[in-house]
Amino acid sequence: MDRKSVAKILKEIGTILELKGDNPFKTRAYYNGARTIESLTENLNNLVESGEIANLRGIGQALSDKISTLIKTGSLPYYDELKSTIPSGLLDMIKIPGLGAKKVKIVYDKLGISSVGELEYACRENRLRDLEGFGEKSQQNILSGIELRKKYNERFLYPVALNESEKIKNYLIQNEKIIQLEVAGSLRRKLETVKDIDVVCSCLEEDRKEIMDFFDSYPEKLSTINKGETKSTITLESGINCDLRLVEEDSFAFLLHHSTGSKEHNTELRGYAKELGFKMNEYGLFSDEQNIACTTEEEIFEKLNMDYIPCELREGMGEIELAQKKQLPELYDGNPFYGLFHIHTTYSDGANTIEEIVEACQDLNLQYVGICDHSKAAFYANGLNEERVKQQHEEINKINASLTNFKVLKGIEVDVLTDGSLDFDDSTLSEFDFVVASVHSQFNLSEDAMTERIIKAISNPFVTMLGHPTGRLLLGREPYKVNMEKVIEVAGKLGKVIEINSSPYRLDLDWRLGKLANEHGVKTALNPDAHSIEGLTDYKYGIGIARKGRFNKESVLNTYNAKKIESYFKEKHPH
């Protein structure tokens, strides 16, 4: 069991105790313990092994015993028993925005509500409105929280789905009767969230049954939704569904194209094929009932007299017309990739020191890293004040003096204040090689006010890049209201970069705006916004999004080598 799972269980114990109305001190001890474990930098196993766990701040005897049991045995009888004393639905209810343990306890005690479904119904019946401590507005908030959750529950973050798809792919390829295998659907298009995994395979007709049996015996299957001869669906333990479709070899390329989608792309392409006198479906391409053989997707596009359309572009957003005119943009393929920007360290809310980050970046064969900690307004993230900026710069100077063939760039993620001014004055800002401006507070402004705020921020001559432009958290928080078209226009005029925040929770700039950004000549940077060494490689998710956004090599800052990026920043610096 790892650190994160232990922290999660401690937190859940705290929640259950709170729901049961247990002693608040005891409850708080579990919450504090969870936080301590979550932010540990030492190895938890070692701390348990040596007994040092009991000496950690906020971990008393009772907690250290429980953590040791969890680490040593992988389970905790106290937790299992405690869990069985409350309806499991209460823990689901807590996850709804606007409802904490206190409120859940009230609706449970007063109305006997113990599941999200019952809660939704009670809200619709106005039963929360008249409950003490609630009201019309809080009832409405809870209802929208439930609706949002429903929407989010239907989809999964890209890396979660990718990981599941790789496991099932590795399982399926063990079956020697399968001839070709690809993961299609939104995953293949690198969409930021994914509903289900679509696997397509080719095989001999007589092997179908055996392959479907094999698929249905997947060890991580939770249940079977449907089992047929050419199409089956199972639910995996992680909650995501997986479809498997089987065809014969000569239809494989067509089924792969069909299942990759998107639906909009397919419909449009079929319409275009029809104009050329073809009929196209998931089994083939036909001209006067004559089958036109294609063994690859490349051949299909060739037969339709158009450029090959990369999967990331198949969203039905004008790519077919461009491919017909042979005007598809040259997409960035992830090479070259010389360095990273927007990395947090222990100076603010990151888990690793600058030196550790530098070492990890060198291991990744990079030439430079742009350190970007938070500024002072982000007090919850231990943001830097002017004094600590100075200290950090001294440290960076020392590190740079000791390095050959690697460069640490001085960056900052400066908070954009409510009125669009920045958290540092220009003289402090001038000390940095580059400045990322981000909104971290006051998300509820009107669209006009937010747009003006962001435009004012990027208009500061010291600002190089706009960070996570809409503040969205995929499947977690809606973007704030902002007119991105206007922001992009201004960024283009002023030569400002808009990051593609490559954390899989954000992927913001939204790729749908990439086309517009390109039209305005806006460059991007694939910023992992890493808070630890592990997060550095999140930039890979940004590559897929940059491709979807039609960015070419020249518009991606990470393709600049150390020398070029330094002169780029110098040139942009107002001095």
Q: How far apart are CA 191 and CA 162, in angstroms?
A: 11
36, 165, 266, 392: which one binds ligand DGT (CB under 6 A): 266
- 543 interacts with, out of ligand DGT, Ca ion, Zn ion, none, CB within 5 to 8 A per kind: none
Dihedral sign for Cα 184, 188, 191, 195, please.
positive
Length of the chain measured in residues: 575
Q: Which residue's CB atom is positioned nearest to ligand DGT?
A: 261
* Closest C-alpha to 165, from 240, 227, 55: 240
- 438 interacts with, out of ligand DGT, Ca ion, Zn ion, none, CB within 5 to 8 A per kind: Zn ion
438, 524, 527, 555: which one binds Zn ion (CB under 5 A): 438
Between 37 and 378, CB nearer to Zn ion: 378
Residue 366: other Cβ atoms inside 10 A: 20
- 190 interacts with, out of ligand DGT, Zn ion, Ca ion, none, CB within 5 to 8 A per kind: none
In the complex, what is the shortest distance from the CB of residue 189 to Ca ion, in angstroms, rounded to a whole number?
Answer: 9
Dihedral sign for Cα 183, 184, 190, 191, please.
negative
Q: Which of residues 24-53 bind Zn ion (CB under 5 A)?
A: none
Between 262 and 382, CB nearer to ligand DGT: 262
- 553 interacts with, out of Zn ion, Ca ion, ligand DGT, none, CB within 5 to 8 A per kind: none
Between 208 and 314, CB nearer to ligand DGT: 314
Between 17 and 184, CB nearer to ligand DGT: 184
| Listed ranges 132-140, 253-261, 378-386, 528-536: which one lies at the site for ligand DGT (CB under 6 A) | 253-261
Q: Which residues contact 426 (CB under 8 A, 6 or more apart)?
A: 460, 461, 462
In the complex, what is the shortest distance from the CB of residue 185 to ligand DGT, in angstroms, rounded to a whole number?
Answer: 3
* Closest C-alpha to 385, from 438, 333, 423: 423
- 263 interacts with, out of Zn ion, Ca ion, ligand DGT, none, CB within 5 to 8 A per kind: ligand DGT
* Closest C-alpha to 431, from 479, 486, 385, 390: 390
In the complex, what is the shortest distance from the CB of residue 182 to ligand DGT, in angstroms, rounded to a whole number?
Answer: 12
Decide: is 504 part of the binding site for Ca ion (CB under 5 A): no
How would you class 229 by CB atoms within 10 Å of its CB: exposed for 0-12, middle for 13-18, buried for 19 or more? Answer: exposed
How would you class 431 by CB atoms within 10 Å of its CB: exposed for 0-12, middle for 13-18, buried for 19 or more? Answer: middle
How do 290-292 and 497-501 pair as beta strands? unpaired
Site string for Zn ion, 397-436 (x = CB under 5 A): ----------------------------------------
* Contact indicator for 185, 256 with CB cutoff of 8 Å: no
241-247, strands of its sheet edge to edge: 180-183, 196-202, 241-247, 231-236, 221-227
| Listed ranges 197-205, 325-333, 396-404, 491-499: which one lies at the site for Ca ion (CB under 5 A) | 197-205
CA atoms within 13 A on the CB side of 47: 22
Between 161 and 416, CB nearer to ligand DGT: 161
Between 127 and 195, CB nearer to Ca ion: 195
Q: How far apart are CA 245 and CA 178, in angstroms?
A: 11
Crossing angle for the helix pair 484-494 and 447-459, to the nearest 10 degrees: 10
Site string for ligand DGT, 173-212 (x = CB under 6 A): ------------xx----x--xxx-x--------------
* Closest C-alpha to 270, from 320, 341, 205: 320
In the complex, what is the shortest distance from the CB of residue 308 to ligand DGT, in angstroms, rounded to a whole number?
Answer: 18
In the complex, what is the shortest distance from the CB of residue 282 to Ca ion, in angstroms, rounded to a whole number?
Answer: 15
15, 36, 259, 464: which one binds ligand DGT (CB under 6 A): 259
In the complex, what is the shortest distance from the CB of residue 161 to Ca ion, in angstroms, rounded to a whole number?
Answer: 9
120, 198, 510, 529: which one binds Ca ion (CB under 5 A): 198
In the complex, what is the shortest distance from the CB of residue 328 to Ca ion, in angstroms, rounded to a whole number?
Answer: 24
Torsion of CA 498, 500, 506, 510, to 10 degrees: 80
Q: How far apart are the first and last CA of the chain?
A: 52
Q: How far apart are CA 359 and CA 132, in angstroms?
A: 56
In the complex, what is the shortest distance from the CB of residue 241 to ligand DGT, in angstroms, rounded to a whole number?
Answer: 9
- 27 interacts with, out of Ca ion, Zn ion, ligand DGT, none, CB within 5 to 8 A per kind: none
E runs forming strands in 375-478: 407-415, 434-438, 465-466
Helix/strand/coil percentages in the chain, nearest 5: 50, 15, 35
Between 231 and 390, CB nearer to ligand DGT: 231
How do 290-292 and 339-343 pair as beta strands? unpaired
Decide: is 258 part of the binding site for ligand DGT (CB under 6 A): yes
Between 272 and 480, CB nearer to ligand DGT: 272
Decide: is 196 part of the binding site for Ca ion (CB under 5 A): yes
Decide: is 267 part of the binding site for ligand DGT (CB under 6 A): yes
Decide: is 527 part of the binding site for Zn ion (CB under 5 A): no
Q: Which residue's CB atom is positioned nearest to Ca ion?
A: 185
Between 251 and 438, CB nearer to Zn ion: 438
Q: Which of residues 169-188 bind Ca ion (CB under 5 A)?
A: 185-186
14, 33, 145, 261: which one binds ligand DGT (CB under 6 A): 261
β-bridge partners, 498: 466, 524
407-415, strands of its sheet edge to edge: 339-343, 368-374, 407-415, 434-438, 465-466, 497-501, 524-527
Return the SS3 of 110.
helix
For residue 296, the 8-state DSSP code is: S
| Listed ranges 222-230, 332-340, 438-446, 567-575: which one lies at the site for Zn ion (CB under 5 A) | 438-446
- 267 interacts with, out of Zn ion, ligand DGT, Ca ion, none, CB within 5 to 8 A per kind: ligand DGT
Q: Which amino acid is at 64?
A: S
Between 263 and 390, CB nearer to Ca ion: 263
* Phi, psi angle pair for 406, to nearest 5°: -155, 145
Q: Which residues in this chain contact Zn ion in the complex, by CB under 5 A?
A: 438
Q: Which residues in this chain contact Ca ion in the complex, by CB under 5 A?
A: 185-186, 196, 198
Q: Which residues in this chain contact ligand DGT in the complex, by CB under 6 A?
A: 185-186, 191, 194-196, 198, 258-259, 261-263, 266-267
